[in-house]
């Protein structure tokens, strides 16, 4: 079986999620496109990164990510570090000829994101910005239904990503530091909403809104609120907050089209709500448990009704990357490329600008 060497930057929350995915790909997606070999893992805390190497089975740990770049056995560089560490290592890896995965948000703003995209695209490697929610089976099913015209013309997208862990004045994490994170709920959660809107509805045309910080002393935003128009003429809202008490990971969205509607909640990620305007007297939203043999990604899993978990979305995502590398096929449209990462950043920046200027922002996107 063909193999690929993997090097990972980062070992905490996302490091666990991605390492687990590479390990499961080897036997859950059988046969895998490429067998991932976990060579090196890098991080700042020597003891912690060494333990991570033992735990996940990496050959070695290092506190210098350049060791991964220098390792010729590594064909895929997976950057799950803090946002401030996205640009330089990712670009370096690509320029060293490695395929690259980078966690979202791609950069801390549109300029940085554009630079990453530009520099990496120039190398010709495969690049994926890890908007993993595109790889939820229910989300992919939604995309397939929309592509097939089952919803008709899309009129509305209303997306909100609600968490509540931010409601802790004593908590400190790199996610609260502007230099490391770039922004707060905006880049962390809002970027997911923006990407999914683009994935399902298409390009943003205008956006008007603002960011909001509630907790005294916090220097990143706690929440964003925006109203948007899409190039297609659809309209909707984009919201994200870390202060919606009782909502743990409630990335909820609803789409209304001229032939039907879809609704989703990440806390019930195995379900898709489907309404069809088909004239059935028994009219209503159907709770589809997305776990059938003819549903996306389900060939890897269990009998129908035996649901998967949040962590399994990374299996699908990284499997997609391995398939693209193995077959020299495209990351797009199902995976988010670095261009997608950059475009999401443009929309996020526009929300910030709108909040500052008080005006509705028209989106324009740079090209290469």
List binders of its own copies among 164-183 (CB under 8 A).
164-165, 167
Structure tokens at 67: 């060791």
DSSP letters spanning 69-109: HH-TTEEEEEE-S-GGGSHHHHHHHHHTT-EEEEPSSSSSS
Residue 310: phi and psi, rounded to 5, are: -55, -40
Region binding its own copies by CB under 8 A among candidate stretches 102-110, 111-119, 246-254, 340-348: 246-254
27 vs 332 by CB, closer to its own copies: 27
Q: C-alpha angle with apex 267: 349 to 259, nearest 5 degrees?
A: 75
Query: Applying CB under 8 A, does 149 fall inside the site for its own copies?
Result: no
Strands 3-9 and 35-42: parallel
- Nearest distance from residue 110's CB to its own copies, in Å? 21
Residue 90 φ then ψ, to 5°: -65, -45
Give the residue carrying structure tokens 């609260």: 176
Using CB under 8 A as the binding rule, whether residue 12 contacts its own copies is answered as no
Question: Which C-beta is closer to its own copies: that of 283 or that of 366?
Answer: 283
- Indicate the burial class of 235 (C-beta count within 10 angstroms; 0-12, 13-18, 19 or more): middle
Residue 230 belongs to what H/E stretch? strand 223-230
Closer to its own copies by CB, 76 or 226: give it.
226
- Report if residue 90 touches its own copies, rule: CB under 8 A: no
Which span sits near its own copies by CB under 8 A: 69-77, 120-128, 193-201, 290-298? 290-298
- The structure tokens listed for 271 are 């379900």
Classify residue 77 as exposed, middle or buried by CB count within 10 Å of its CB (0-12, 13-18, 19+): buried
Site residues for its own copies, window 20-59 (CB under 8 A)? 20, 23-24, 27-28, 30-31, 55-57
- The verdict on 237 binding its own copies (CB under 8 A) reads yes
Q: Which stretch binds its own copies (CB under 8 A): 3-11, 119-127, 189-197, 263-271?
A: 263-271
Whether the upstream peptide bond of residue 199 has omega within 30° of 0, thus cis, is: no
Angle in degrees, 0-180, between the axes of helices 338-357 and 191-200, rounded to the nearest 10: 120
Answer for which of 123, 202, 250, 353 binds its own copies (CB under 8 A) is 250
Question: Within 268-287, which residues bind its own copies (CB under 8 A)?
Answer: 268-272, 274-277, 281-287
Of residues 196 and 274, the one with the C-beta less far from its own copies? 274
Is residue 241 within 8 A of residue 185, CB to CB? The reply is yes
Q: How far is the CB of 304 from its own copies (least distance, A)?
A: 5
User: Is the Cβ of residue 179 or residue 232 nearer to its own copies in the bound state?
Assistant: 232
Residue with Cβ nearer its own copies (177 or 259): 259
Tell me which stretch binds its own copies (CB under 8 A): 2-10, 123-131, 173-181, 241-249. Answer: 241-249
């Amino acid at each position: 079986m063909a193999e690929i060497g993997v090097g990972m930057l980062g070992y905490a929350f996302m490091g666990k999620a991605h390492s687990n995915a590479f390990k499961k790909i080897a036997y859950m997606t059988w046969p895998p496109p490429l067998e991932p070999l976990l060579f090196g893992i890098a991080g700042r805390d020597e003891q912690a990164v060494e333990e991570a190497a033992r735990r996940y089975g990496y050959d070695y740990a290092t506190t210098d990510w350049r060791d991964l770049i220098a390792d010729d056995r590594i064909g895929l560089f997976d950057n799950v570090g803090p946002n401030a560490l996205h640009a330089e290592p990712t670009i370096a890896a690509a320029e060293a000829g490695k395929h690259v995965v980078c966690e979202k948000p791609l950069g801390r703003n549109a300029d940085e994101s554009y630079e990453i995209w530009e520099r990496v695209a120039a190398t010709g490697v495969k690049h994926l910005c890890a908007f993993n929610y595109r790889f939820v089976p229910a989300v992919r099913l939604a995309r397939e239904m929309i592509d097939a015209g089952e919803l008709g013309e899309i009129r509305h997208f209303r997306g909100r990503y609600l968490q509540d862990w931010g409601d802790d004045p004593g908590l400190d994490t790199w996610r609260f530091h502007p230099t490391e994170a770039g922004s707060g709920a905006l880049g962390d959660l809002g970027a997911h909403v923006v990407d999914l809107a683009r994935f399902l509805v298409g390009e943003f045309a205008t956006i008007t809104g603002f960011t909001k910080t509630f907790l005294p002393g916090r220097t990143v935003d706690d929440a964003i609120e925006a109203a948007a128009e899409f190039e297609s003429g659809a309209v909707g809202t984009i919201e994200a907050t870390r202060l919606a008490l009782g909502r743990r990971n409630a990335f909820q969205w609803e789409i209304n089209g001229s032939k039907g509607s879809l609704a989703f909640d990440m806390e019930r990620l195995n379900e898709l709500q489907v309404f069809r305007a088909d004239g059935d007297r028994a009219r209503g939203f159907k709770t589809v448990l997305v776990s059938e043999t003819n549903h996306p990604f389900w060939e890897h899993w269990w009998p129908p009704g035996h649901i998967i978990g949040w962590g399994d979305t990374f299996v699908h995502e990284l499997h997609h990357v391995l398939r693209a590398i193995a077959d020299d096929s495209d990351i797009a449209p199902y995976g988010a490329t670095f261009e997608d990462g950059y475009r999401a950043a443009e929309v996020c920046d526009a929300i910030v600008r709108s909040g500052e200027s008080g005006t509705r922002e028209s989106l324009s996107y740079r090209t290469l």
